[in-house]
């Protein structure tokens, strides 16, 4: 499966991203087709209810779209439920068990740096 390296990396405490062998673009989530090489919308969805009902997480919680230094953007949760993020805040990845899997979460950078 093309996302196995991501799951293996999370279990090892590493954030691993897929990189296109043709154009070199990093991408998340992993996919068999590089969107940079194609440049077209392949699919989209509008969510109207809680999607991951099996995850042991109560609402409300903060979801972030994080722009990684490597280029891709990914959606994940903010580890500190009480924190209030702002656009431009620096974050650091951390890994937590959730629903029997190790997943990346983000914490606000305590150094006070913003991008």
* SS3 call for 11: helix
Contacts of 34 (CB under 8 A, 6+ apart): 20, 22, 23, 25, 27
The pLDDT tens digits for 52-105 are 666 556 667 777 888 887 778 888 888 887 788 888 888 889 999 887 889 998
Identify the residue with better confidence: 5 or 22.
5
Bridging pattern class, strands 18-19 and 73-78: unpaired
Query: What pLDDT shows up at residue 41?
Result: 36
The pLDDT tens digits for 10-61 are 999 999 999 988 788 898 888 887 777 655 433 333 333 466 666 556 667 7
Domain ranges of the chain: 4-108
Of the candidates 2, 10, 1, the residue with the CA atom closest to the CA atom of residue 99: 10
Of the candidates 79, 83, 77, the residue with the CA atom closest to the CA atom of residue 64: 77
Strand ranges inside the chain, DSSP E: 18-19, 26-27, 63-67, 73-78, 91-98, 101-108
């Amino acid at each position: 499966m093309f996302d196995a390296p991501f799951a293996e990396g999370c279990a090892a405490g590493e954030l691993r991203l897929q990189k296109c062998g043709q154009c070199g673009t990093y991408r998340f989530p992993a996919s068999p087709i590089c969107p940079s090489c194609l440049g077209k919308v392949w699919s989209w969805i509008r969510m109207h209810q809680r999607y991951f009902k099996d995850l042991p997480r109560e609402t409300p919680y903060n979801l972030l779209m994080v722009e990684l230094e490597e280029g891709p953007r990914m959606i994940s949760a903010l580890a500190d439920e009480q924190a209030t993020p702002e656009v431009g805040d620096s974050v650091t990845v951390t890994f937590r068990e959730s629903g029997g899997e190790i997943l990346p979460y983000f914490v606000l950078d305590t150094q006070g740096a913003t991008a």
